[in-house]
Amino acid sequence: MSNPFFINCGPFNISEIFDTLKIKTKLNKNQIVKDIKDLFSAEKDCITFFHKKKYNEIAKKTKASYCITTQNLKDYLPKNCTPIVVENVLISTSLVTQKFYPNSIEDEYDASAVDIKDTTLKDIVIAGKNVLVGDNVTIGKNCFIGHNSIIERNVQIGDNCKIGSNTILRNSVIKDNVTVLDNCVIGKKGFGFFPSKNKNMRYAHIGIVIINENSEIGCGSTIDRGSLSNTEIGKNTFLDNQIHIAHNVKIGENTIIAGQVGIAGSSIIGNNVKIGGQAGISGHLRVGNNVEIGGGSGVIKDIPDNTKVMGYPAKSIREFLKNNR
């Protein structure tokens, strides 16, 4: 993933990374590590991580030079990739990600933001009162931004977009013809941390939010950015009010999501999906294409293509209605 938002503080010497992980080693201390990426996108001189056996086919082909992993999994890695064996892969990965991207942990407000009237964007954008924009924001032609909205640093907005009032955008790429209505917060860090007595340990969120062409986001919705991958809304997908989309979620094209729906972290929703109001989808699931999910449903397992489900837990809608006559 290219990362337009968070500054990579690397490269680091591998010895510095071992220091971060409190590992003593005899490995060559002059080797350089450029970045941290997932197994699939990591290149030579990158570090990656591998924590579940189900990713072994991807692990076998990784181009990374180093991989944070466990004793049990290390033998899946190819010769070009030196395993770094740790007790808890996710915590160690988090520590290394923080080293590369220290500014991605917390979400302080963007102190670079100034009134759009005091920037050159004032001649391009039709903006309300008290609109703030941060450094390095780009906005296309024919865009509207409502009163009191805040476009934080680095956000990219395409042509013909409508941003409502009291809305906050950060760490996001908004494509052409997108509407984001009032009181939304798009692009804050996800709800991700390692629980720890007295002081939880937040982890880095270097993913962004991408909202593709022709989509609409309803009032009061929140879309969190990803941790190591992006959160993405497909083309021509419409979200109603008060929807919550957690980190790393991917939603396909032409999908319709009614009010107060929540989608937990890392789930993947297909194209042409319809989700009724107040439905919830658990994390790390896959909802196929052309699926219909009834209002109020609680989805706790994968849903294959072309099916209609309803209930809590969600099952075939025919079965739901039969059981509930």
Find the shortest distance in angstroms from Cβ 116 to a second copy: 11
- Closer residue to a second copy (CB): 157 or 181: 181
Q: Tokens at residue 258, please?
A: 């009614």
Find the catalytic residue in 51, 147, 205, 247: 247
| 3-class SS of residue 90 | helix
Given a contact cutoff of 8 angstroms between Cβ atoms, the answer to whether 48 and 62 are in contact is: yes
- Closer residue to a second copy (CB): 92 or 242: 242
Find the shortest distance in angstroms from Cβ 25 to a second copy: 34
Find the shortest distance in angstroms from Cβ 287 to a second copy: 15
Q: Tokens at residue 113, please?
A: 């933001």
Beta bridge partners of 134: none
Find the shortest distance in angstroms from Cβ 24 to a second copy: 32
Residue 247 bears catalytic tag = yes
- Closer residue to a second copy (CB): 47 or 181: 181
Find the shortest distance in angstroms from Cβ 220 to a second copy: 6
The residue among 280, 266, 293, 277 whose CA lies nearest residue 241 is 277
Cβ-count burial of 30 within 10 angstroms (0-12 exposed, 13-18 middle, 19+ buried)? exposed
- Closer residue to a second copy (CB): 65 or 149: 149
Say how far residue 88 (Cα) sits from the centre of its chain: 22
Cβ-count burial of 147 within 10 angstroms (0-12 exposed, 13-18 middle, 19+ buried)? middle
CA 209/CA 222 separation, integer angstroms: 11
- Closer residue to a second copy (CB): 52 or 129: 129
| 3-class SS of residue 163 | strand
CA 174/CA 233 separation, integer angstroms: 10
CA 50/CA 73 separation, integer angstroms: 8
Active site residues: 247
